[in-house]
């Protein structure tokens, strides 16, 4: 994986078209910005109940976007990351429909996980309470077979997402088929979606068990054999991310987004700098994604202390709601149909009350933090919450999943805050110091993030109270490269 900025995007929601249109956009209007692209689920269908994360056919590109040869063409322009949806598949998939029709006679019977596979005598209330689930309610859904038999299938997320029995021969063959397709069509990086939930074991939380680590390890090794890297996508306590990082190629730094918000809200770098001192170095950094802003990643979990305490987490969430004028509250938790217990649904720009200086500093900190940065398409264009789309779908995360046209993209590219962000991206891509040694110095409202290279040192220096943020290069002399205030005035 190149140590340069990557794009996170849906094919159609950014480009207004298919893979060919997205490729043209990246080669032209976005030229020089991204060395890689996490292309969010492009499998059939892209408009299921979970925006492509519930594929009916994980091996088929949705025809509205193109075909596998279009993926392969795009992969010649940038390093493509694709989602391996490890934990589940759609209840409308041919495989599951065959199970409903034929029951145990279906060749896919063992592909899907049932309550009886883990709890042959039935699950007790005590066992059910142990299971960690990102949404409220039972993790099982009753499905009626053609002969009238009712079977409890494991559904960690929604009743349309049937969990895969990844330890069964059918489950292993399914994942191998998708891995091989990815490798044959130029995919270089695989995001292991919801991998933390893949292994279920009685009398446990069924989340990030020792056996889960072993499963991720084996899956990563197989991907490596096929010439691909893996990234584990797991929202959990920060110590879990540190543990996972030693077992996979890359892990997400999901603690960074809430910590940067906390820093800007409180004008205090202490919690952020503590994390940057201990955070994994083999990570991908994000501020926003197709999901909400993770909260659990920075907070306490049970008896485990967090990077922020419970009061600080509450203040963080309430400040986001205030900054977004209540829009995030309408899209989060029970207010919307997808009840994510650990996320606040809001664009990052609105979480910062559309303060352009704060937003550029947040991106500068992200780019100077250890790891390979990713920028979500909504964040690239500093987009506001899409309340119209939220109103149509009542899916909380749609507040930050807008549908754009090429014309609207061009309009947003003219904004000073977007021009400033693009300048930061190009600096992050091109300056050799980012391959050097990272260090930081900070005290309350003042901070310095440094990259010490062989020829020069690059420094991000900021004062949160005085609203000053600048990037300097040190060689034989000190040279100012970027000033956030000047970038926003077009000077």
**What whole-number distance in Å separates Cα of residue 340 and Cα of residue 248?**
26
Let me know: does 43 contact 82? Beta carbons within 8 Å.
no
Predicted model pTM: 0.94
Question: Is 23 annotated as a binding-site member?
Answer: no
Q: What is the pLDDT of residue 337?
A: 55
Could you report how far apart the first and last alpha carbons of the chain are, in Å?
35
pLDDT in tens, 264-308: 999 999 999 999 999 999 999 999 999 999 988 999 988 899 999
Question: Is 341 annotated as a binding-site member?
Answer: yes
Question: Is 465 annotated as a binding-site member?
Answer: no
Instruction: State yes or no: pLDDT of 162 exceeds 60.
Output: yes
Full DSSP string of 315-327:
HHHHHHHHHTTTH
SS3 state at 262: helix
Decide if 6-85+168-434 and 94-162 have a common fold.
no
Six-digit token string for 374: 């990713």
Question: Is 491 annotated as a binding-site member?
Answer: no
Let me know: does 195 contact 120? Beta carbons within 8 Å.
no
Instruction: State yes or no: pLDDT of 231 exceeds 80.
Output: yes
Q: How confident is the model at residue 336 (pLDDT cuts 50, 70, 90)?
A: low
Instruction: State yes or no: pLDDT of 364 exceeds 90.
Output: yes
Among all residues, which ones are annotated catalytic? 193, 233
Matching CATH number, 6-85+168-434, of 3.40.50.460, 2.40.50.140, 3.30.70.890, 3.20.20.80: 3.20.20.80
Q: Residue 106: name the closest of 147, 62, 64, 78 by CA.
A: 147
Q: Residue 257: name the closest of 113, 365, 398, 103 by CA.
A: 365
Q: Mean pLDDT over residues 432-451, rounded?
A: 95
Superfamily of domain 94-162: Oligo-1,6-glucosidase; Domain 2 (3.90.400.10)
**What whole-number distance in Å separates Cα of residue 130 and Cα of residue 134?**
13
Q: What is the pLDDT of residue 50?
A: 80
Q: Mean pLDDT over residues 204-217, rounded?
A: 91
Give the chain's mean pLDDT: 94
**What whole-number distance in Å separates Cα of residue 161 and Cα of residue 140?**
11
pLDDT: is 358 or 302 the higher one?
358
Question: Is 50 annotated as a binding-site member?
Answer: yes
Instruction: State yes or no: pLDDT of 447 exceeds 60.
Output: yes
Q: Residue 343: name the closest of 257, 413, 278, 275 by CA.
A: 257
Q: Are strands 161-163 and 187-193 parallel, antiparallel or unpaired?
A: unpaired
User: What are the boundaries of each domain within the chain?
Assistant: 6-85+168-434, 94-162, 436-489
Q: What is the pLDDT of residue 391?
A: 95
Question: Is 342 annotated as a binding-site member?
Answer: yes
Q: What is the pLDDT of residue 49?
A: 77
Question: Is 247 annotated as a binding-site member?
Answer: no
Beta bridge partners of 151: 143
Q: What is the pLDDT of residue 429?
A: 97
């Amino acid at each position: 994986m190149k140590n340069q900025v990557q794009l996170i995007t849906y094919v159609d929601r950014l480009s207004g078209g298919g893979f060919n249109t997205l490729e043209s956009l990246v080669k032209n209007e976005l030229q020089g910005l991204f060395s890689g692209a996490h292309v969010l689920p492009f499998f059939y269908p892209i408009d299921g109940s979970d925006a492509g994360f519930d594929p009916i056919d994980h091996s088929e590109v949705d025809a509205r976007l193109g075909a596998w040869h279009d993926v392969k063409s795009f992969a010649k322009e940038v390093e493509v990351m694709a989602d391996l949806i490890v934990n589940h598949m759609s209840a409308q998939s041919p495989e599951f429909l065959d199970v409903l029709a034929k029951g145990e006679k279906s060749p896919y019977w063992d592909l899907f996980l049932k309550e009886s596979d883990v709890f042959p005598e039935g699950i007790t209330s005590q066992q059910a309470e142990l299971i960690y689930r990102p949404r409220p309610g039972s993790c099982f859904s009753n499905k009626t077979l053609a002969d009238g038999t009712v079977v409890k299938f494991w559904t960690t997320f929604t009743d349309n997402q049937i969990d895969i029995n990844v330890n069964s021969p059918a489950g292993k063959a399914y994942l191998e088929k998708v891995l091989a397709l990815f490798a044959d069509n130029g995919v270089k990086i695989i995001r292991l979606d919801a991998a933390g939930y893949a292994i279920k074991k009685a009398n446990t939380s069924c989340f990030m068990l020792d056996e889960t680590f072993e499963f991720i390890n084996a899956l990563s090794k197989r991907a490596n054999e096929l010439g691909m890297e893996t990234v584990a996508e797991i929202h959990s306590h920060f110590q879990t991310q540190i543990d996972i990082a030693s077992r996979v190629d890359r892990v997400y730094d999901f603690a960074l987004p809430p910590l940067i918000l906390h820093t800007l809200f409180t004008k205090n770098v202490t919690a952020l700098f503590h994390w940057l001192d201990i955070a994994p170095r083999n990570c991908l950094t994000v501020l926003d994604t197709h999901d909400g802003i993770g909260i659990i990643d920075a907070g306490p979990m049970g008896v485990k202390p967090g990077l922020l305490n419970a009061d600080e987490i509450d203040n963080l969430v309430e400040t986001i709601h205030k900054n977004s004028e209540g829009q995030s509250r309408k899209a989060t938790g029970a207010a919307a149909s997808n009840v994510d217990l650990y996320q606040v649904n809001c664009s990052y720009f609105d979480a910062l009350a559309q303060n352009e200086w704060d937003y550029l500093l947040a991106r500068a900190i992200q780019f100077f933090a250890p790891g390979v940065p990713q920028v979500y398409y909504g964040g690239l264009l500093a987009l506001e919450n899409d309340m119209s789309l939220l109103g149509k779908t009542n899916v909380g995360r749609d507040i930050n999943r807008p549908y754009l046209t090429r014309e609207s993209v061009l309009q947003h590219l003219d904004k000073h805050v977007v021009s400033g962000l693009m300048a930061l991206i190009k600096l992050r891509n091109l300056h050799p110091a980012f391959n050097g040694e990272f260090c930081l110095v900070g005290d309350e409202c003042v901070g310095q993030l440094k990259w010490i290279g062989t020829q020069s040192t690059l420094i991000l220096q900021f004062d949160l109270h005085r609203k000053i943020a600048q990037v300097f290069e040190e060689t034989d002399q000190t040279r100012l490269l970027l000033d956030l205030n000047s970038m926003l005035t077009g000077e």
